[in-house]
């Protein structure tokens, strides 16, 4: 009988169940299992796909059972305007939670009406967060109608209240927000003392009006100092499909000691024209963390997968030779060196060397957006970098270069074939690959040359069962 097993074995068995519903059903099998397994149902709660009614019922459950509320460690929720039925509202339960959650200036009756209406789950989300004292990992998926949750989180962070006192990881997904979300909405939240990592999807700080565009263009990143600096215990920042003409100076300046900054740029959704990354504007604020930064990525999100269109903005970022803790570096090839393009783009040269920009602590180097005009100069740079083994960079263990269209362009008949044949690599890239494989092998460095177009062909063949 399951009921006779020790609690440790029951937890081990339940860990193989992916569905909270299955765990709840197992817990309901008998009275002996229920008190042992039920708390596990509440350890991780995912309400991304659920509507307001589910949130309201969960608020009542946690308010009635604080011991279950204390079990919640991970919470995922979509904060949106989602008119729905089935909202549960028991005033004798909700009013005490409201009074303990809201500040003295909040309109209690206004919140009361919003909670009953079932038109928005923003207010219900606030109550849920207030009832989770041990929450460690929070994912908010927001849309343009949401503001209560972020405002409440900012308020308790600035007042240093007891709310969210154990939150360590905060992710903000703005995929349903028209034009993304400005960093001003969450910068105050970074004051939460336990918070260590922030992940943002579609964070856009670029101005929308002509005046803001001109102001952003004239921004002097090197001389700018944020009003608030080094106030956050955040150590890891990851921005996906985001953009800022000012290089997110306020966000990068917030941490006391930043260890990881990963930025995947996407074009400004407010601009009709494609824009570059403004990569060099990220360098001055990053310099403040040159003694602690261990992982750095500055790239375009299109370099993560095959795309037929690519833009190459030649914008030298700056030297990372003085970054004494940097181990992992990923940049676009057009940004890592100070390229002198001359009159022709077919034979680019550089005004500096890899040895001028790479730190001695480097362990992994990934370069994105390889084009044919880069190969000659890069071969020369890697010869200088790797000749003589690892004497100059003793910790370097991995080198990766990737791009699109390194293989022969296929005909319509070939591209429509199933399975699609793998094209031969163009001679210039084949020579580049062979040269780097030899240099890296001699130096004891792992090397990988990736063609995202080729990887896309292989992936599509797999989808068709080939």
- Are 74 and 136 in contact by the 8 Å Cβ rule? The answer is yes
- Determine the 3-state secondary structure of 42 from DSSP: coil
- Pull the structure tokens for residue 5: 């097993």
Q: What is the pLDDT along the chain (466 residues), one digit of tens a residue?
A: 555 555 555 555 555 455 555 555 655 566 555 555 566 667 888 887 655 457 888 898 889 888 889 989 999 998 876 666 678 888 888 888 888 888 766 777 778 777 877 677 888 899 999 999 999 999 999 876 667 899 899 999 988 777 899 999 999 998 666 677 889 989 999 999 999 999 999 999 887 788 888 888 889 999 998 888 999 999 999 999 999 999 999 999 999 999 999 999 988 766 656 678 999 999 999 999 999 999 999 999 888 887 766 666 899 999 999 999 999 999 999 999 999 866 455 567 889 999 999 999 999 999 999 999 899 999 999 999 888 766 788 999 999 999 988 999 889 998 888 899 999 999 999 999 999 999 999 999 999 999 999 999 999 999 888 8
- Measured distance between the N- and C-terminal CA atoms of the chain, rounded to whole angstroms: 47
Decide: pTM greater than 0.85.
yes
CA 26 – CA 5 distance, rounded (Å): 14
Tell me the Ramachandran region of residue 405: left when phi exceeds 0, alpha when psi lies from -120 to 50, beta otherwise.
left
Q: What is the C-alpha radius of gyration for the chain, rounded to an integer number of angstroms?
A: 26
Where b means 16+ CB within 10 Å and e means fewer, 368-380 reads bbbbbbbbbbbee
**Is the separation of the CB atoms in 349 and 377 below 8 Å?**
yes
Q: pLDDT at position 49, please?
A: 67
Domain 1-41 has CATH 1.20.1280: yes
Distances (CA, A) of 206 to 104, 202, 246, 282, 462: 35, 12, 8, 14, 40
| 446-464 burial: b if 16+ Cβ within 10 Å, else e | ebebbbbbbeebeeebeee
Task: Write out the two tokens for 236.
Answer: 């890891």
Q: What is the pLDDT of residue 74?
A: 93
Q: Where are the domains of the chain?
A: 1-41, 305-466
The residues facing 399 across adjacent strands are: 365, 447
pLDDT number for residue 14: 54
Q: Which of 322, 333, 420, 410 is nearest to 372 (CA)?
A: 333
Q: Locate 446 and state its tokens.
A: 């792992």
Residue 452 near residue 305 (C-beta atoms within 8 A): yes
CA distances for 282 relative to 30, 301, 355, angstroms: 58, 16, 21
Evaluated on CA atoms 30, 32, 33, 38, the torsion sign reads: positive
Residues sharing a CB contact under 8 Å with residue 246, sequence separation 6 or more, in sequence order: 205, 216, 219, 221, 224, 278, 281
pLDDT at residue 37, rounded to an integer: 58
Backbone angles phi, psi at 75, to 5 degrees: -140, 125
- Among 112, 240, 106, smallest CA distance to 181 is for 240
Best CA proximity match to 382, nearest among 323, 434, 317, 311 = 434
State how far the Cα of 64 lies from the Cα of 139, in Å rounded to an integer: 24
């Amino acid at each position: 009988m399951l009921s006779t097993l020790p609690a440790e074995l029951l937890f081990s068995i339940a860990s193989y169940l992916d569905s909270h519903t299955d765990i709840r059903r197992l817990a309901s099998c008998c009275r002996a299992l229920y008190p042992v397994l039920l708390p596990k149902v509440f350890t991780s709660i995912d309400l991304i796909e659920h509507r307001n009614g589910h949130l309201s019922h969960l608020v009542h459950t946690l308010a009635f059972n604080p011991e279950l509320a204390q079990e919640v460690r991970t919470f995922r929720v979509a904060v949106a305007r989602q008119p729905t039925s089935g909202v549960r509202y028991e005033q004798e339960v909700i009013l005490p939670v409201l009074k303990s959650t809201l500040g003295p200036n909040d309109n209690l009756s206004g919140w009361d009406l919003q909670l009953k209406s079932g038109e928005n789950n923003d207010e219900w989300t606030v109550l849920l967060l207030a009832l989770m004292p041990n929450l460690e990992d929070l994912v908010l998926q927001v849309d343009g109608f949401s503001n209560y949750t972020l405002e409440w989180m900012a308020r308790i962070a600035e007042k240093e209240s007891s709310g969210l006192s154990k939150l360590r990881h905060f992710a903000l997904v703005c995929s349903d927000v028209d034009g993304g979300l400005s960093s001003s909405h969450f910068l105050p939240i970074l004051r939460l003392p336990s918070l260590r990592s922030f992940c943002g999807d579609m964070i856009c700080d670029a101005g929308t009006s002509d005046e803001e565009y001109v102001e952003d263009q004239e921004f002097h990143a090197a001389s700018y100092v944020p009003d608030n600096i080094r106030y956050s215990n955040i150590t890891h920042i990851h921005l996906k499909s985001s953009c800022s003409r000012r290089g997110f100076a306020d966000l990068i300046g917030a941490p006391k000691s930043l260890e990881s900054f990963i930025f995947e740029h996407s074009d400004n959704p407010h601009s009709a024209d494609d824009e570059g990354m403004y990569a060099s504007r990220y360098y001055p604020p990053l310099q403040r963390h040159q003694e602690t930064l261990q992982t750095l990525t500055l790239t375009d999100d299109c370099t993560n997968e095959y795309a037929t269109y690519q833009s190459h903005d030649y914008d030298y970022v700056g030297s990372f030779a003085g970054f004494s803790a940097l181990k992992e570096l990923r940049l676009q090839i057009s940004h890592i060196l100070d390229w002198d393009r001359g009159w022709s783009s077919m034979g680019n040269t550089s005004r500096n060397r890899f040895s001028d920009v790479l730190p001695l602590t480097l362990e992994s180097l990934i370069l994105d957006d390889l084009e044919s005009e880069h190969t000659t100069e890069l071969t020369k740079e890697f010869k200088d970098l790797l000749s003589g083994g690892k004497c100059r960079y003793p910790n370097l263990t991995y080198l990766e270069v990737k791009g699109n269209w390194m293989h022969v362009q296929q005909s319509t008949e070939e591209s429509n074939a199933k399975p699609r044949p793998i094209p031969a690599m163009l001679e210039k890239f084949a020579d580049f690959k062979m040269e780097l494989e030899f240099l890296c092998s001699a130096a004891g460095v792992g090397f990988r040359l990736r063609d995202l177009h080729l990887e896309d062909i292989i992936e599509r063949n797999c989808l068709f069962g080939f």
